[in-house]
A and B are shown apart, each in its own frame.
Chain A
Amino acid sequence: MVVTGSSALLSRLSYTRNVLKTGNKGLEVLSGSFSRLAVTQRFYTSNNATENESKPGGAVAEPEKISKAMKAYLERARKHDEFIQKETLEFNVGKRHLANMMGLNPETITQEDIDESIEYLFPSGLFDKRARPIMRTPSEVFPKHKAAEFDASGRPLHSMFYTTKPNFFQVLYDIVEATNLLKKKKLSSRNASMELGSPDEFNLTSSMWISKAELEQMLMEQLIDRDYNDFVAALERLVQYPGLNQVQDLLTKYSKRRMNQKLKQTIPPLEYNSDDRPFITIPNCMRKSARAEVTVLGKGSGKITINGQNILYFNDVQAREQVIFPLIFTGLSGSVDVVANVSGGGQSGQAGAIRWGISWALRSFVDPETVEKMRIAGLLKRDHRIRERKKPGQAGARKKFTWKKR
């Protein structure tokens, strides 16, 4: 069908950064001429600059004064506009076809319906969801671009234009300005021997700095790791000073709330068996090569059954300790029974699998505070560490052969 319609073009387009900005100075200058976000990307290697005729719209009053750069830019912008219009038209037509194919109402078909239909019509075995076929509005698929960063005569609008990353360096500049402000206040208050004990409204522990990708998206500029490190270092320097609520706008802009880990979990309710005993069964408890199925029963007496035997199933004391770790941590070692079937792996792995199963099941038996304590004790995290393979050309996973000259 139309799956690969212009995928070659897309791959070229999407090879550049997906940049997006709403309020740009370039737009303010030429806002009458076109109503969209425009482009200054290098891959538009347009020979349009030499063309005499460009159609920028009515707002540019004196065409002879327009610089070549601006002309070229306007040409690219026009082409991009036309392209997007064409794609939008095709998308709408395609949407109607799809609705007819799937027996849906073409007028009321939603994006969810489209996604479902595409999944049905083009079933994909690809694991990564981002690699599967999609059908979205062109505005979501094609990258947006920066508006012109220079005026009609070709003069850059931003004083840091020639750094090639004006927005980024502006951010650094702002942060340093704020730091200097706080520094000055700190010094002056020390001279005046004032009390600085006021609690900062900005909570640093429950927030974190935005990631490099997010910063790039915010600034519409591609950054290297060193840039991002500079950004973080500048912010860390800023937050050392007291009086952070004075620069709260800046901090909230470049940080995001960290989600409380406690809120992430959904704990299943207890089930009841024929004896009216509460229980939870956890299948697929894994650690190394061991696989276990663990059932924790309430109203018990602390009886542990592993493959039909008691805890002496394990010869290793450490393995026994691991099995009872969650029980003694929650203080339920005398009031619940544990039944576990385990196979594969060694003693340590089997004990680890059972430990995780018991911990996971005990969440339903204890209050949320204890669940959080168990999480901090590292009981609720599945241990994904496995033996690292030996590598060819060396003695072990990491160990190298003795070096001999020849």
Chain B
Amino acid sequence: MAALKMFHSRQFAAATVRSLLSINRWSEINIKKNDYSVYPPYYVRPVYKKEQQAALKGTEEAEHLAHAPIKAARNNETSSVFHDEFLRQFTNYIMKKGNKILARRLLEKSLENVKRIQLERYHKAEPQDKVGMELDPKIIMHKAIANCKPLLKLERIKRGGATYQVPIPVTDKNAQWVASKWMLEAARDKESNAHLPEKLAYELLDAFNNQNGLILGTCYQEETGFTQAMRSKSSLCSLQMELNIDHVNSLHRQAIVNF
């Protein structure tokens, strides 16, 4: 009865494990990207908002989601109407040493201050100015960050032994991060005695109204970046093509055109 056996062949086990793991057709190729994740690489991120799911209906993406295993939604993601993807991100930018409770409190306090200041201004304003005055701190926050978004960033490029500072267009995501970083740097400025919530509220409102140093700084940066571009060997044509993007803030464009 020698056929009574134990399968202890390493290769057999390896082959079976491989066959169990390889579910997505991309998995075998991209397996290295996701090395440390507890999820196998074919797991996809959840779509946790109802509106987003409704928007996906009938698309190829929805079909893909129906067949793919989904990761668990993270503990700072919810389908609540009060949840905002950018605010979630910004909380993490504020956070120091993993203290998310404090970071969230600071952000909420900042938005509360924005609301208070704006309401005060609203009540003090002349009746004709009251029309169309933005009072929603969330919208003010989004607009303020959009106003601070840079168009270009300087990248060090080495050509023939010399390093050139070449301005290159930034992606929207990168611009958002840089704008948020500048906003926080301004809010954390040690010179004033105000705490972060007060300072951030003023910075946000100034940026919303296109009138603070941060905006001017952004413009200045872009001007100098443009100068660098002309001095360096980078092709001006491709840059000008990039500048024709629709969502470019008019102020930024004007700054560059004026130059």
Tell me how far the C-beta of A200 lies from the nearest C-beta in chain B, rounded to whole angstroms: 13
Tell me how far the C-beta of B244 lies from the nearest C-beta in chain A, rounded to whole angstroms: 30
Task: Tell me, in angstroms, the Cα distance from A218 to B68 when the chains sit together.
Answer: 25
Q: Render A224-242 as a binary contact track against B, CB cut-off 8 A, 1 for contact.
A: 0100110010000000000
Task: Tell me, in angstroms, the Cα distance from A97 to B2 when the chains sit together.
Answer: 13
Q: Render B65-79 as a binary contact track against A, CB cut-off 8 A, 1 for contact.
A: 111111111011111
Tell me how far the C-beta of B2 lies from the nearest C-beta in chain A, rounded to whole angstroms: 3
Q: For this complex, into which size category does the number of interface residues on chain A fall?
A: 35 or more
**Contact A10:B5 (CB < 8 A) given known A225-B28, A261-B69, A379-B73:** yes
**Contact A2:B50 (CB < 8 A) given known A260-B67, A318-B76, A318-B104:** no
**Contact A130:B75 (CB < 8 A) given known A141-B5, A205-B67:** no
Contact B47 A377 (CB under 8 A): yes
Q: Is A18 an interface residue (CB 8 A)?
A: yes
Q: Is A165 an interface residue (CB 8 A)?
A: no
Q: Render A83-104 as a binary contact track against B, CB cut-off 8 A, 1 for contact.
A: 0000100110110011000000
Residues of B within 8 A of A211 (CB): 18-19, 21-23, 28
Q: Is A312 an interface residue (CB 8 A)?
A: no
Task: Tell me, in angstroms, the Cα distance from A319 to B75 when the chains sit together.
Answer: 8
Contact A261 B5 (CB under 8 A): no
Task: Tell me, in angstroms, the Cα distance from A138 to B1 when the chains sit together.
Answer: 10
Residues of A within 8 A of B65 (CB): 376
Contact of A322 among B11, B15, B75 (CB under 8 A): B75
Contact of B15 among A216, A316, A348 (CB under 8 A): A216
Residues of B within 8 A of A87 (CB): 2-3
Task: Tell me, in angstroms, the Cα distance from A379 to B101 when the chains sit together.
Answer: 23
Contact A381 B67 (CB under 8 A): no
Q: Is B64 an interface residue (CB 8 A)?
A: yes
- Closest residue of A by beta carbon distance from B101: A316
Q: Render A346-383 as a binary contact track against B, CB cut-off 8 A, 1 for contact.
A: 00100110001000000000000000110111111111
- Find residues 303-317 in chain A having any chain B CB closer than 8 Å to their own CB: 316-317
Task: Tell me, in angstroms, the Cα distance from A87 to B12 when the chains sit together.
Answer: 21
- Find residues 194-226 in chain A having any chain B CB closer than 8 Å to their own CB: 205-206, 208-209, 211-214, 216, 225
Contact A383 B72 (CB under 8 A): yes
Task: Tell me, in angstroms, the Cα distance from A216 to B9 when the chains sit together.
Answer: 17
Contact A378 B53 (CB under 8 A): no
**Contact A130:B12 (CB < 8 A) given known A259-B67, A377-B79:** yes
Residues of A within 8 A of B21 (CB): 211
Task: Tell me, in angstroms, the Cα distance from A133 to B68 when the chains sit together.
Answer: 35
Task: Tell me, in angstroms, the Cα distance from A258 to B47 when the chains sit together.
Answer: 20
Contact A375 B28 (CB under 8 A): no
Q: Is B80 an interface residue (CB 8 A)?
A: yes
Contact B3 A91 (CB under 8 A): yes
Contact of B2 among A6, A329, A373, A382 (CB under 8 A): A6
Q: Is B7 an interface residue (CB 8 A)?
A: yes
Q: For this complex, into which size category does the number of interface residues on chain B fall?
A: 35 or more
Contact A11 B8 (CB under 8 A): yes
Contact A131 B25 (CB under 8 A): no
Q: Is A43 an interface residue (CB 8 A)?
A: no
Tell me how far the C-beta of A298 lies from the nearest C-beta in chain B, rounded to whole angstroms: 21
**Contact A18:B12 (CB < 8 A) given known A90-B2, A135-B4, A325-B80:** yes
**Contact A328:B79 (CB < 8 A) given known A91-B1, A130-B16, A378-B73:** yes
Residues of A within 8 A of B50 (CB): 329, 373, 377
Task: Tell me, in angstroms, the Cα distance from A260 to B69 when the chains sit together.
Answer: 10
Task: Tell me, in angstroms, the Cα distance from A201 to B16 when the chains sit together.
Answer: 31
Contact A232 B25 (CB under 8 A): yes
Contact B22 A212 (CB under 8 A): yes
Task: Tell me, in angstroms, the Cα distance from A279 to B77 when the chains sit together.
Answer: 27
Q: Is A14 an interface residue (CB 8 A)?
A: yes
Contact A351 B1 (CB under 8 A): no
Residues of B within 8 A of A137 (CB): 3
Contact of B23 among A130, A133, A208, A386 (CB under 8 A): A208
- Closest residue of B by beta carbon distance from A351: B75
Task: Tell me, in angstroms, the Cα distance from A95 to B78 when the chains sit together.
Answer: 59
Could you show 6 A-B contacts with beta carbons less than 8 Å apart? Answer: A11-B8, A134-B7, A260-B67, A261-B66, A329-B48, A378-B45
Q: Which 8 A-B pairs have the closest CB atoms?
A: A378-B46, A94-B1, A5-B2, A378-B73, A211-B22, A213-B19, A2-B1, A383-B72
| Besides the known contacts A261-B69, A376-B53, 18 further A-B residue pairs in the complex with CB atoms under 8 A apart | A5-B2, A7-B6, A11-B8, A128-B13, A130-B12, A133-B5, A134-B4, A205-B63, A208-B25, A212-B18, A213-B19, A232-B25, A255-B25, A322-B78, A372-B66, A377-B79, A378-B46, A378-B72
Which B residues have a C-beta under 8 Å from some C-beta of A? 1-9, 11-13, 15-16, 18-19, 21-25, 28-29, 38, 45-50, 53, 60, 63-73, 75-80, 83, 100-101, 104
